[in-house]
Structure 1
């Protein structure tokens, strides 16, 4: 039965349809690929920055081993990862906001980045990267998505955050002690790559 209060002239109603369309389009795209690894990080880092080059190197290693690299499709770390995959003729996906693969809403883009990856790799970044990191940890913690490696690359950047988690969240019992096992900290693309491969083999 139709709802007489459901006004198709209401812009909010059309916004809902747009959100639905973005989810359908995004899932149709992502499900065409297997063995995906999502890579996150700052948009502000440039070629030559150590983190940029590590992301580029990791994407090359993944691409050579048949993985599809998935990023937010913007500049910085995401550019480095897509570029690295391209340099070894591997597939990669850039899920951007109003750019190559267009998403109007950030939250639909985030769902696609989190969907069915074999691993999530985080290079140094700001608030957006932290948002994505903590959301994915929470989704695995609450068993909303399957447990896969969450890897942070760059001890100098990430160690202060992990120290705070241990001294404040874990000590204060805001999280379980085992929750700190949901992520790994490494210092190189090679270490991240090894964790991903071992996870697949295991």
Structure 2
């Protein structure tokens, strides 16, 4: 019997940094909403259940978009929380033990099926798997007390999907103050689990600002 895998796709952001008040996950990318592209990539993975995390106020919009574009990829809808970690926790509540769970930003539509499959495969032998790319630019640590150069050879840009054995991430989310973190690997690492880094993809960009959407339209 095949192990049930899950993909929690986070799409409960407000898109405030796009500057137009419209959530970026629903914006047009090559004629269709960004989220359609993201979900379709995961739908190509076998034995996978997709959980889409939305804000309650966006559910009607989502249903209207699915009807308009005849989007029929099977998925469950979960209402998110007030923060990213709280939204993840809501999605985790729909996952069963003995599974492998990937968590992905809904606004990373250019992720490849090859990377997704690699992440799930590695998670069979590692508790936590995260795609990352080495930093190509010079990097500095800057705050009110410090302004120091960092060794860029020791700095990596973290991506999603981040993949975990279910027991690993369940334990972390149940025992750590989750709202202090910006990604799931950091929460899991805080619980004492080592993070396995694997090579990510340059095209796997996160659509955050208007220029990112322009780049995605060129790359897709």
Greater helix content? 1
Fold shared, TM-score > 0.5 on shorter chain? no
TM-score range normalised by the length of the shorter chain:
0.3 to 0.5
Question: How does the TM-score come out when normalised to structure 1?
Answer: 0.36
Larger relative contact order, structure 1 or 2 (CA cutoff 8 Å, min sep 6)? 2
Question: How does the TM-score come out when normalised to structure 2?
Answer: 0.34
